[in-house]
Structures are given as structure tokens and as C-alpha cells.
Amino acid sequence: MSVSNATATNISHSERSTLLRFLGLYAFLALLILILGATIYYKLQKDLMLQTERLKLEEYSKELIDGLKLLHIYFDRYRTYPRNPLYRSAIYDADKVLIFSTLKDPDHVQLDKVIYTTPKHQIQYIHVLDSYYLGAKYVVVEIDENRAWWMRAWRDILIYGGGLLGLFLFAGVVLVRLFLSPMRNALNLLDRFIKDTTHELNTPVNAILSNIEMIDQDKLDEREAKKIKRIEIGARTISNIYQDLTYLVLHHQIASQDEVVDMDRLVRERVEFFKILAESKKIEIETDLQPHVTLTIDRGKAARLIDNLLSNAIKYNRRRGSIFIRLRPGELLVEDSGVGMDDRALKEVFKRYKRFDTSVGGFGIGLNIVAMIAREYGLKIDLKSRKGKGSKVFIRW
């Protein structure tokens, strides 16, 4: 799996993502409702137009029928089909066979209907004769459709539909904010708790580590030395957690002091810091560090990145396992022989507070911090892992 520049998640990003997904679904449903309403409104306007035109067409059909009667009676004298410039017409026999037509659109006549519009924008009215004149059973009267109703209908649909859609979206935003408010409050409480906790941890942790360093362990017996070592392990673990929590809460308030960092030297320092933690699980750390490899980055953030990779490699490793660290120009590899992860876990491993093994300690923030730093400096993270086979993390720049 490859992740770069977009792996870190935070509260505002999570809120935006949830907001966009909800609004997308909400807008889709609102659009469906508006389309249904627009369809009904359009049909009603069309029916209203047809009903209005029907009165006119009925008068025209009566006029045409009167003309057909006269022609039927005086066929020997008059053989001219009745015409009127206001309308066009046609007659069909009982078998629906065309007898005569002056229609503009004779191809779309529907004798089973009463009044309708054709694709060529004509209105046709069907009248069924009680008496057969000239063999005609059906009389069709046709006029041009006045498209003004169509323009008015679509104007109303766009204006009122757009207004209603905007109103629905505004209501959706308000609803989402109401739904997100409890989650936002809970996360704010959690961040305040973390901030207060880290503030209280700083002084005692530094005091413990400072006093341990002042103890001459060579003068202690083996039993006392083991006790001091356990205290140091605990203090270093708390110190690493403190550094992570401080970065998580205050990283946006601290300006970066970028410099050219000697990565070889920094990796060695961090390995030395975590060596005592690795020894507590009998984990062997092997390094292959090429000298003079540099990276322009804030030194403290680079240390956070390396510390979290090492901490995870130790935390999720098996007892008597191994860790391999390789440094090359443009690449840092941290490989462990630990529990590994499946594909589902790989997709969510960089999410904040996400933990897949509750049997070990931690807050689920280490890899999230790694991803945040990588995104800030344009680093690329490649994480490869197999369940029960360990993990490999590549940092490339």
C-alpha cells in the first residue's frame, strides 16, 4: 500500500468528509424529490394548456363536420374538401385508414386518444363521428402548439426548483452540524484532557530520567540494577508518549525550524534511546546506515517520525524478535518481525486513535503523527505488511 500527502486525518478533515458525504446523499435525494415535483408540475401545465386548447379545437371540429355533411349531401355539386386557415384536418374510415389529410404531422396521429401533442409541436384533437360522412369515422383537427406555456413552465421549475434545492442544502448543512456537534465536543474534551495530561507529565518524567542518569549503576548489585532498569524503561516509555501527545496537541502552534539534518546521526541517537526498551523484550536491532545522508526538516519532527516507527516496531514485535533499519540517500527503511497486519488494517492504519491490538499500550496516534509529518514535508510512505510476517515501512524523499 502506498500513502503520501493525504494519509493524516484530523478533526476538521473528518468533519468535512462526513459533511460532504451526507450532503451528497442529501442533495441526491432532494434532487430526486424536486425532479418528481417538476415532472408533476410540467404535466399539470401541459394538461392545463391542452384543456384550454380543447375548447377551440372542439369548435373547429364542429365546423369541419358541418362542412363534411354539406360535401356528403352535395357531393355531385361540390367536390372540394373543407379547409380553414386556422386549422388543418384529416378524416379516417372505421378501419383507421386515411381518406384525406391536410395535416402537417400525419405520421403521429393517435386515433385512440382525444387530444395530445406530437413530437413536431402540433396539437391534434380526435372526434369520433356518430354518422358516417364520406365514409369517415374519425375526424382529426390540428393546430400549431403555442410554446409559451413550455417556456413559462421551465422558467418556474428552474427558479422555484433552484430555490428549494438551495433551501434543502442549507437545512442539510444545519442538520449535519447538529449531528457533528456531540462528536466535536467529545474530541475537544479529549484534546483538552491530553493537553492537561502532557503538561502534568513533563516535570516528573524529566526528573526521573535525570536522576537515573546520575546513578552509577556499576556500583549497584544486580537486583538493584534490574529495578533501576525497569524504572528507566517505564520512564522512557512515558517520555515517548509525552512527546507524541505534545506534538499532537501543539504542533499547529509551533513554528518549524527547518535545517539540514544528518539522518545517520539522528537515527543512531534514536536507536540508542530505544535500545533499553528493545532489550526488555529481547529484541535485536540491526542497522545499516550510510553516512552523510541528509534531509531538510525540523529536527524535532524528524525525531518524532523516527521515534514512532521504532516504538511501533518494538511494541508490535514478538519477544526475541528483530528490527532492521537501513538508511540510504532518499530512503529510510524500518523492518520488524512482528505481528503484521491484514489488508483491512492497512487501509486504516494512519487514522488517529485507530488501534488494532488493544493488548499493547498506546493511544493509536503514532502512525498518524508519522503521516502528518510526511504530508508536511512531502515525504512518501510505503507500508508493506503481512499478518504474522512483520511489517516494512519505507520513508522516501
pLDDT by residue, tens only, the chain of 397 residues: 444 443 334 445 666 777 778 778 888 898 999 999 999 999 999 999 999 999 999 999 999 998 888 888 877 677 788 889 999 999 999 999 999 999 999 999 999 999 999 999 999 999 998 877 788 999 999 999 998 999 999 999 999 988 998 888 888 888 877 877 787 787 777 777 767 766 677 677 778 777 777 777 777 777 787 777 778 777 777 777 777 777 776 666 666 788 999 999 999 988 988 888 888 889 999 999 999 999 999 888 898 899 889 988 988 888 899 999 999 999 999 999 988 888 777 877 887 767 666 555 556 778 888 988 899 899 999 999 888 888 999 999 9
| pLDDT of res. 362 | 59
| pLDDT of res. 361 | 55
DSSP at 113: -
| pLDDT of res. 330 | 93
C-alpha cell at 146: 403555442
| pLDDT of res. 8 | 38
CA dist 110 and 92 (Å) reads: 11
Quote the crossing angle between the two packed helices 222-250 and 263-280, to the nearest 10°: 130
Nearest to 326 by CA among 316, 334, 318, 337: 334
Q: For cell 386548447, name the residue.
A: 53
Residue 395: CB atoms within 10 Å: 23
